[in-house]
Structure 1
């Protein structure tokens, strides 16, 4: 019996260790959640271990909570004191995309081990939280898109391990302190009320880090000694009126006589020119409408010249001013204005060349000059009318079109953030800002929603899904473009001519379908995950496309080798990356019937965004109501409807 006692004691101790849980921290969380309205999907069970709760992660021994992630869970109100501040072992805290308000509790200063803090997209107010500047282990702080006011304190320099500081879209005022943290890689104070000059220590960051502060100046913005404040009542003359009057009084009589004689001579020359023009017109035979002369224009990207040389080279006089606007919008320009605009080549794609056109009245649009169109004017107009009716925030609207024998032009909005292709595959040098995981997820879900809307509400097959046709707003919300154009080119021209995106059946039949769109979108997801362009050159193996390359790497159990090296710097996202990879691989199945529909793809990504993973309840920065509309796409025939599909 005496021999059994030590063994029993050891067993009891071990069982106590294995069933241990952070009791005090559990009580703090229960107190926190009981005092705040929140989403029903949390459903924390007080009888269960806190380490099993949604959004909560503990260490390997379940002895303390190291991560609390509750984004997008409809938390409302002020954070109660003596709750989260008691999670003294916490490393990661994410409460973003809720409706939390007021100031942060002062007991946040107890979170000495905290490394990452995400409070963006709430309604917090008050001055910069002083409790944060004492948390010297912080590496990433995001309190953007709130209502914080007052000055940004110099004590931010205490956070010597900081790599990212995001303070944009608040109401901070005053001058920027000289923040000199060697490890700081990402910094943003845009869209506040800051003034004065940007300190030299912060001038290494791009203009987008400071834009939206009207009274902020210095590199990389406009120099402080430049006059960039608009005058309330600008004078139409070069000199102020008083100066002009003084100078006119100093004119001598001889100068006045010379001006009068010069003016008379100019009038005489103008009169003679007008006389000879009229005389020549009377003698000329009746005018004939010239035949449009098709011309090919070769311009390098970034060059600028007269748009008459670039856009609408084959437009005849009788066909001018016949730009057809869609969607009932009111626009202040016509075809003449479009042809007078300065034009810059944005890119040459599979269906034509795109130009950025800056009109004289200040509007900037994108004009796509189509090539190889093989349909009649009536058929062209039917397709344009159907595309013009498609309205969705993640679909780039078609504003207008023009049709003549030798020119077919489409007019779209201009998005200044560029394309996903440029963002992913642009320069990867030292000055590059990596595309982080949150933004990649945002682009994935917003572009999926746009394509799903095309399928369900627009009854339109996109037909040309690729990263250069995913355009981005300044907040990196995606808009799909170049959709529904395949019916214009006939069956002789293979759709989606960029290697790597085409579904296997499209290569053979040259007919695009809803399922072939799903395949192309799956390739787009793989491109987001791997950072590789879906062509042979980027994969290092001849004759292999991106889906097959991914399959070969995963088959050898080297899954981590698949993902973009730029994503390796972000922690606790591995599970989400693998789940999104699984969604992508289901989309690129070689058998069309085995691919999900786009509505199912949207739902899967939304579920992933909300699921309990290492990143917790990751909620898209989009409005949660902007999900799939639950409709069923029209039954897919072997060939899509001609008038509404590409």
Structure 2
């Protein structure tokens, strides 16, 4: 122990203590010290061309202004935050080096290509915000991964491949108010968090592998925060079932699946048997074909009154296109490939000599009688637009309806947006996405004009119903089927019935398809799948629209855009315009939502690149590019999605 004998000694020791207390501040405010710390941190990174202005010739900060890219600075010129987003960075996040930045409180490396386990963030105990979203981090976290980080308020780890349980130290953070873990592979039960039930500003653990009952302290949150975890139950999701009920449910599912398979086999055998019984009609058809020497004449005759009468008997395909022609027996005997099973029924690819066709089986088309069904299908057959998938033929029986289309080899828009790609394989670029959304809006506008009497002329507009030809031109599929689909089935599965107006009033409107187009715009710009479409019945909430709406009001607004969307240089302003259009389409108030004509016109005005004046204005906001926050100048309208 040091004994102080006089006032001189007292003053001496006070000066020493003051010097020690100010040492960290002195070091951190030293330009040379921070420069060397940041340059050492950069040396562990690769593909770092975005940080080319990090060098010894300038200071990182000038007061609150960052001279070096990707920094937040305090008034005294110290580095307060790292915002290294959308830079294509790789390498190592060297936490030990960052210990030299005494004022560091926030780290964001969102939308880069960092790999490996979670960095040792708990060495930086003073951090307030951590943003690691949309990288390639993997592995389980230690229970003490966040130990000692008592100041932490915001953690975003979404869009990685983290696995295992939520660390106990993370759940114990009492000041935590924002947590984003969605889109990983976390598993196990959800822990009891230390926060009060009303203390969350943002909470999302959707699309993981969590299981068990949702803790009561989280039961007041939106259901969208938990969707995509098949093992979760309890409020706000469906009630939990006892183990006995689960076993009975599994048995029921197995029995129903077997029954469905048997019914399918019986239906196919029935169709084949009926075809065999129609030999006389087949011979008459062959005789008719022999009288005509060209395929064009053959197909023309399939659409005449005689063919209509044969189709009425249920034994023939009815062709609505004059440039196609084949027999039902040829279709049934063709090599078939199962493409998938959707909400309406199964789809098959049939390889014919004239080209591949897609046969879609519908079991839920019994809302209208035979005559009305034929009238509606013939009306669909008369439609002609470059952005509609044309109906080729249909087959009618009371218990079975087949719709036949051309096969589109490039697949659906959903497969290009959401199927996991190989490393280095690019996603759809901005010009392609803009071309697709323009084609979709043109096709939807055509449907509005052709079906003025239909409240929802499409009714099921989503990315899996947008097919892409070899030039990536979009073709709308499964359109205008609401008049013939069974109402209960439609309300359970079709996109139009997940709109805000149906959720609130159980009524659709002339602007419902506009809402579906807005969700599709968000899906294309963000790369995120609208998870509420997987829910049966009314939409619990428009989680994708709500997410976009919340993000544009936060500091990290630019993170709304899909990191796999290349070719965005000089196009940020046009992307923001399309985002605005999507938000106007998704206004929850039907009165405030844009009309389809205005939407189509606004989309047509969009360009791949900003004008020189627009780009100069946009770029003047700084080096953050598309990751800057949106301002009132970007959106001069009210958003209530």
More helix by share: 2
Provide TM-score, normalisation by structure 2: 0.45
Q: Which has the higher contact order (CA 8 A, sep 6+)?
A: 1
